Structure 1
Amino acid sequence: MSTDLVPTTGAQAAQSTARAAGKQFLTFRIAEEEYGLDILRVQEIRSYEAPTRVANAPTFVKGVVNLRGVIVPILDLRLRLGQAGEYNAFTVVIVLNVAGRIVGIVVDSVSDVLELSADEIKPPPEVAAALDARFITGLGKLGERMLILLDIEAMIQSPDLGLVD
């Protein structure tokens, strides 16, 4: 009796386990759309407070805040995605740890944490009107609910933001 076993590396086994177990996403809203990002990038969620403005910064860079001795740039993801938003009691800042940097992103509201299996994540669309498709890792589908899954690390590291060397 012959069995064809293919040896796997530790990384391949870990990826297989992660796919089987699913991945967790923090979900949030910007205008009428619901987005998700890898929960492992989230450091904390804070209520919005006006940051200190930085001269000559792009309009989506709202400024900086002092977070327990660390100067954190605050980006309004709503403006970055071409959505105007008002600042109200639901507006929050998601503090992320991305590429060794601490960055805050402003969103309309945070929804919840969801675990999606590989079967519930569909490939990114061919055309993404509101967002450069290179920042979309896929679409999460839970019943009637559709999430745009962001590659927040790629977005933060993109040269047009100028945050990471």
Structure 2
Amino acid sequence: MADLYPTVSQSNPLSPPQGTYQPSKGASDSAGASTRMCVFLLGGESFAMDLRHVAEVFEVESVTAVPGMPRVLVGVTNLRGTIVSLVDLRETLEVSLASSVLPFAVVMREGAKLCGVLVDDVPEIRTVSRNDLLPALQSGPYERRPGVSLVLRLGSRLCGVLDVTQVFAQIEGGSGGTEVEAGR
């Protein structure tokens, strides 16, 4: 299913602009190093993604269904001439399905692959200390949630941090996560 995603190229409007922040080597080794996170809401819960894996956040205007795709892939949308696959991770992440419409998408990037994760809202981009990133607990709100590899402490609340590699593996039905059922 490698054709599910557009590729990042110089002609792709979603390519990172020249001069995009790239952390210096060794920055992650220092105890107090910081990283930037995109915090988003999904099914009433907070999640986050490393900003280095976020190409863009946009309001979804239309979704075109694609028959025969895995259930998590709800369709595609045209984002300034680039076709972007859209995924709904609520079932995978075991969050509330109360809302039928997810108005925003966070376009995540891994290597040359792009995919839009449908979300309820993106309230903030935040710089956090790496000390606030904790291993996902074996029990608690983020246990056994495929694709959640860390927990981010934001003051008095916690949010699950998505591992983009695991999320792409789940979407593709690969060995990196839970198999995705075909259909929809």
Tell me the TM-score normalised to structure 2 length. Answer: 0.70
Correspondence for 1:136: 148
Q: Which residue of 1 aligns with 2:28?
A: 15
Match of 1:3 in 2: none
Aligned counterparts of 1:99 and 1:163: Cα–Cα separation in 2? 18
- Equivalences for 1:15-164 in 2 at 5 Å? 15-17=28-30, 20-83=32-95, 84=97, 85-87=99-101, 91-127=103-139, 128-129=142-143, 131-132=145-146, 135-156=147-168, 158=169, 160-162=170-172
2: CA distance between counterparts of 1:140 and 1:117? 10
With over 3 angstroms needed to count, the CA separation of the structure-2 counterparts of 1:142 and 1:68, relative to structure 1, is closer
4+ runs of 1 displaced by more than 4 Å? none
Instruction: Say whether the 8 Å CA contact 1:59–1:79 is kept in structure 2.
Output: no
Using the alignment, how far apart are the partners of 2:89 and 2:82 within structure 1?
21
1:59-92 deviation line (CA, Å, top 9, x unaligned): 321111222332211111224324413216xx21
Unaligned runs of 5+ in 1: 1-9
CA drift of 1:129 comes to 4.5
CA RMSD between the two structures: 2.3
> Could you tell me whether the CA contact under 8 Å between 2:137 and 2:143 is conserved in 1?
no
Partner SS for 1:55: coil
Structure 2's unaligned 5+ residue stretches are: 1-23, 175-184
Residue 6 of structure 1 corresponds to which residue in structure 2?
none
Counterpart-to-counterpart distance in 2, 1:95 and 1:26: 11
Higher helix share: 1
Q: For 1:91-149, what per-residue CA distance to the aligned partner results, in whole angstroms no more than 9, with x for missing partners? A: 211112223112111011111012221221211111445612xx223111132121111
Query: Highest CA radius of gyration, 1 or 2?
Result: 1
Report the identity percentage. Answer: 24
Secondary structure of the corresponding residue to residue 103 of structure 1: strand
Tell me how far 1:56 sits from its aligned partner. Answer: 1.5
